[in-house]
Amino acid sequence: MSLKKISNSQPSKFEFSKENLLKVEKEIKKYPPDRKASAVIALLYLAQNQNNNWIPLEAIKYISRLLSMPYIKVYEVATFYSMFNLSPVGKYFIQICTTSPCMIRGANKITDVCKKLISKKQNELSENKLCSWTEVECLGACVNSPMMQINQDYFEDLDQIKASEIIQSLLNDNFPKPGSAKNRKSNAPEKGKTTLL
């Protein structure tokens, strides 16, 4: 599991766009007025989407004011969950599951590919600034391990060759087709159905 990287280069200001302010209002209304802090995850997620997939510290301060929460409480949430990025992640953000089932089936070979093609250390941008990668805990697709998530999509049943092809394609600014590298449908057996024929 990686330590959360906080960007050294921070914007001096953050505000939600008009469109996102309407969404913020909707999120806050889901909770009683004295429980509006419950909207914190939704607001952090909106901030991340608005800011090229990472959350600047100014956004954390801004959200703490919106929700009348101490800054440190919002900071704690933002640093706890791996879904929140606190430094720029590039257009293609690759999260590799390195929990036991994926690790046993070769997740370390996928991280080796990332080290070779993207950056030696996780959470650093590739030379062309298009990609970055990080290790994460179980992403819930253990049965199709090893796997990685790229932006919102899952790539499963990987090996070193397939992972290299996918990452090379991203570095060329092409998003490949997500899903199983073995063309499995969901988590069906590789050779097709064996029961309920």
The site for ligand FES (CB under 6 A) is made up of: 97, 99, 101-102, 138-142, 145, 147
Q: Which is nearer to ligand FES, 23 or 184 (CB)?
A: 184
Q: From the CB of 99, what's the least distance to ligand FES, in Å?
A: 4
Residue type, 95: Q
| 125 vs 138 by CB, closer to ligand FES | 138
Is 37:28 a contact under the CB 8 Å cutoff? no
Q: Which is nearer to ligand FES, 101 or 176 (CB)?
A: 101
Q: How far is CA 86 from the centre of its chain?
A: 11
H or E element at residue 131: strand 131-136
Written as six digits, the tokens of 18 are 């008009």
Q: Which is nearer to ligand FES, 33 or 140 (CB)?
A: 140
Minimum CB separation of residue 108 from ligand FES in Å reads 12
Q: Say how far apart CA 87 and CA 63 lie, in whole Å.
A: 17
Question: Measured from the CB of residue 146, what is the shortest distance to ligand FES in angstroms?
Answer: 7
Contact 61, 13 (CB under 8 A): no
Task: Please report how close the Cβ of residue 107 comes to ligand FES at its closest, in angstroms.
Answer: 7
